Each structure stands twice: as structure tokens, then as C-alpha cells.
Structure 1
Amino acid sequence: MPEFSDYIVFADESGDHGLQSIDPQFPVFALVFCIFDKGMYAEKVEPAFRRLKFKYFGHDAAILHEREIRKQEPPFAFLRQDAALRAGFMADVSAVMADAPFRAFCAVIDKMRHKARYVNPWNPYEIAMQFCMERLSDTLMREGQEGRLTHVLFEGRGREEDRQLELEFRRIAQNGKQWGRRSIDFIRTPLEPLFVPKSANLAGHQLSDLIARPIALRALRPDQANRAFDTIKDRVSALTIFP
């Protein structure tokens, strides 16, 4: 049985990584890794999300999803009914995000610039994955996790997409893709991908989903007001914008 690390990581993205048809209003792809100390995650993060859900839904089965909240779609349609209720809900969500003990690593790919610069551009997901895994491995080394297995949880998207993502992750984790600004020995901090359905209702995935778009927007429009990013900016340990 492997020795497990003291940390768990949740990954999420904002935007799509395709290069054929690029949305001019949102021409970026962002991947975020959120790393939690397991003890703090179990004692603070999960209970805080449950308390929030009990307050507004009466149960903890609801899943906080940034797009549905932003568009006030079910189960968040109640946000359309009362401005004070909406303001209170958003303030409570911000408080949960601000109080959560985590660190985030994020890579944002400007797809238009990337496509214009390279004749055969790499897949934005591959670039973002490499950058996030580099910073994760460095952090785990600093935290004394050498040789200990760390799980990185992705939200399942479908059998084929998950299979391709897992292959890419394992290639990097086994030092099969050494490119970029420096060489990282990923073997020193073993990483294992795990794909879970959205219905698993994990607080770590919901938090990473809530911050992925605000981080992408900060990279895309740095001068635009961005309250969600300001709430968690001190938790963003690394933000890489490529190219």
C-alpha cells in the first residue's frame, strides 16, 4: 500500500481548449489546481459548504456551479426573486471562498495568440496541465511530500475525454513530456489522477469551479472589476499566462 500525502488536489477549467472555433468574447482556456491540506479540508472546507447549503436549500445535495449561479438557473432561480436574498447568498459564497484554506495554481492560455504564434500549436490543455503539475510538484516537495502519493481529482466529462486526459496526465507524471522553461522530475512526488462525477458533490470541485472563471477573466481583462478574484487573490500562488 502506498504512503499517501497530506494533500488532496482538485482540478477544474474555464473555457474550452479547442483551437478550431474560438469565441472572441472569451478566447482563453484556464486550468486551475486547488491544493488542500486533508485535515483542513475535512474540518473546515466541507463543513462550510454544507452549512451554506443547509441555509439556502434546506439540504446539502445542491451543487454550487459558477455558471448556474451567474445565470441564476435552477437550483439558483430563487436568486431572481429577491435582491436582498441574492446579495446575502453571494456574500455568503464569497465568505466561504475567502475563509477556505487552500492554494491555487492556474494556467491561462490565450488561444488566439497561441494559434497565431505557432504553425502547429500544442493543445492548450496539455500546456496548462504541464504548468500546473510543475507548480504542484514543487509545492509538494517544499511541504515534505517526496515519495508520497497525491491524488488529483478531475470532474468526469465522458469516457473518451477522460481517457485522453488521463493519458496526458500520466505522460507528464512519468516524465514523458519534458519541455518548457525548466525540467521537473515528477517521479519525486507521485501523482495519481482520479475522475469523479459531478454528482459526487465534492466541495473541492465546487470551490475550484467557482474560482476558475474569475481567474481567467483577470488574465483576459486585468483592468475589469472582478470581485470574485479579489476575494481569493491571496490564495493564488501561481498564475501563468501563455504565450
Structure 2
Amino acid sequence: MEIEQRRKHYTLFIDECGDPNLEKYDRTFPMFTLCGILVSSDKLKWLENEINGLKRELWQDESVIFHSREIRSHSRAFVNLLDATVKERFYERINEILGTEDIYVIVCCCILKEPFVERFNTGEDVYGLSLKYLIERAIFHMDDCDSGNCKLSIVVERRNPNQNQMLLKYYNGLRVTGTKWITPERLTDRIKNFKFQYKADNIIGLQVADLIAYPISRYVLNPERPNPAFQVIAKHIYTYKGARLGFKIIPH
């Protein structure tokens, strides 16, 4: 018990951009991104305080849920971003927060649907495939930093019951089989729990993952297009010996 208490704790918050449907999809956005941010418990409190401080400053309400699509469209709670002064302050502060060094690490997997279907098939579980990659690379990073002396909680945005059940089944399968690079024993030793949460639960980590997933997706679709948001977050992608191990594009 004493050893368990001394182990450092991380949380991997996972959200998505796009949908995992390979048969019918928006040809103007032909991809699915599963994005995770890995945060240690000692730094999560800072991140939550900063995001909540921004909510109090511009909305006077910590219960506002940051959602990338609504922010971009200035809809619902974000209609105040139509005011140029408010919008400038919002992006100034969110870039400061998300650009702060050594607070979180990004692990993400991007599925390019058209070439994926051509090479594989439409029956592939791309959500599960992406989840495996995120968990694997999160454990890599934890072991790099803490030599295995750490535990991981995984928090995934709750979807519909059938999708949640499929994902839970896939996760439980990973606990039995492991991955190509991580044994089942190592995986189960690292992971403390796996749970689903609604966006409405106001989980700051999920909101940050949501904000990050879109600029990553846009970068993959068009790396030459100006993308200042990606420039802010790119340094947080899990990198080992110069290689971006936390940034997977399938197929590539």
C-alpha cells in the first residue's frame, strides 16, 4: 500500500474531432482524430485553475463548457466572441495557457478516411485502433519520465451507449492482449481506471483535448495552411529523441 501511494498519478483525457464512420462522411473533412492530453496530478490543478479563471473573466461563470465548434462559430455561450475585444482577450489567454511549457503532453491519432478505406476496409474500428495508440504512447511517456513508477487514469468523452460499450470491450481486450510494444502485464500495472464522462460534466481536461483536436486535424489535412493554434500546441506533442512518437497518421 505504501508503494502504491508513492506512485505518481497521470490522467489521459481523450476527445475526438470528426466521426469514426468510414462509409458516410463529410468529403470536406475526410478524417477522424482521437486526441489525448496526458497531465500529471500536480499540474492538472494549475490547468483547471487557469481555464476556470478565464471563464470567470469573460463569462463570469465557471460552468461554461469550452467546445471548439461553438467557439469557432460564436454560437451559444460564445456569442460574446463577436465582440472583437473579447475575442482578442480570449485567444490571448487560451494561447498563453495552452502554450505554457511542461503542463501537458499530447498523444493523438489521425485517420485519413479515403486512403484508409482503400487500403483496409470500412468495418475497421478506427476508434479502438486510435485508442490503442494513445494508451501505448501515454505509457511510453510515463515510463520515460518516471521509470514506471506511476499510475494512469483514462477519461474518455461519453458517447452513445452502444459506442461506449464497444470501446470498453476494446479496452478490456487490450488488458488481455497488450499491444505490439506493451505487454498485458505492463499495461494493467500502469492503468488505474478507465471511465466515461459527459462534456456537460465540465471536465477541464476533456475540454482542453477538444480544443487541441481541431487544429491538429486541420494541420494534417493541410500542413501548408496558416494554423497559429497548431503552432501553440505543437511543442507539447510527445517527442522522444527527436521523433514525434505521439503523433500518428494512418495510413502514412
Unaligned residue ranges in structure 1 (runs of 5+): none
Query: Please, what is the CA RMSD of the aligned residues?
Result: 1.9
Per-residue deviation, 1:142: 2.2
Partner of 2:57: 55
Q: Deviations over 1:188-228 (max 9, x none)?
A: 14323111122221111111000001111111111111111
Aligned pair 1:114/2:113, yes or no?
no
Query: Structure 1 residues 190, 76: closer, same or farther in 2, change over 3 A?
Result: same
* Residue aligned with 2:223, SS: coil
1:16, CA displacement in angstroms?
Answer: 0.4
Q: How much does 1:187 deviate?
A: 2.6
Amino acid at match of 1:6: H
Give the match for residue 30 of structure 1. 33
The farther-off stretch of 67-76 and 140-149 is 140-149
Letter in 2 for 1:210: L
In the TM superposition, residue 9 of structure 1 has moved relative to its aligned partner by: 1.1
Separation in 1 of the partners of 2:24 and 2:8? Answer: 40
1:200 counterpart letter in structure 2: D
The TM-score with structure 1 as length reference comes to: 0.90
Q: Structure 1's 18 and 216: CA in aligned 2 closer, same or farther, altered over 3 A?
A: same
Partners of 1:187 and 1:18 in 2: CA distance: 32
Picking from 2, 16, 21, the partner of 2:19 is 16
What is aligned with 1:223?
A: 224
Picking from 6, 9, 25, the partner of 1:6 is 9
1:184 to 151, 159, 182: 182
Larger helix fraction of residues = 2
The structural deviation recorded for 1:145 is: 6.1
Aligned counterpart, 2:72: 70
**SS of alignment partner, residue 248 of structure 2:** strand
CA contact (8 A) 1:22 1:112 kept: no
Q: Which residue of 1 aligns with 2:247?
A: 239
Distance 1:166 1:88 in 2: 40
Aligned residue type for 2:88: A
Structure 1 equivalent of residue 206 of structure 2 = 205
Whether contact under 8 Å (1:137, 1:186) holds in the other structure is no
AA partner of residue 18 (structure 1): N
Deviates more, 1:4-13 or 1:163-172: 4-13
Instruction: Report how many residues are paired.
Output: 237
Aligned equivalent of 1:88? 89
Match of 2:242 in 1: none
Q: CA deviation at 1:146?
A: 3.3
* AA of the residue aligned to 1:30: T
Contact 2:155 2:196 survives alignment (8 Å)? yes
CA drift at 1:46: 0.8
Query: What runs of 5+ residues in structure 2 fail to find an aligned partner?
Result: 239-245
Tell me how far apart the structure 2 counterparts of residues 39 and 69 of structure 1 sit (CA, whole Å): 28
Q: 1:155 to 1:168 in 2, by over 3 A?
A: same
Q: In structure 2, what is the equivalent of residue 172 of structure 1?
A: 174
| Deviation for aligned residue 1:63 | 0.8
Paired with 1:225 and 1:33, the residues of 2 have a C-alpha distance of 23
Q: State which drifts further: 154-163 or 202-211.
A: 154-163
Cα deviation, residue 114, structure 1: 0.5
> % of aligned pairs identical?
25
For residues 119-138 of structure 1, the aligned pairs below 5 Å read: 119=121, 122-138=124-140
> What is the Cα deviation at residue 90 of structure 1?
1.6
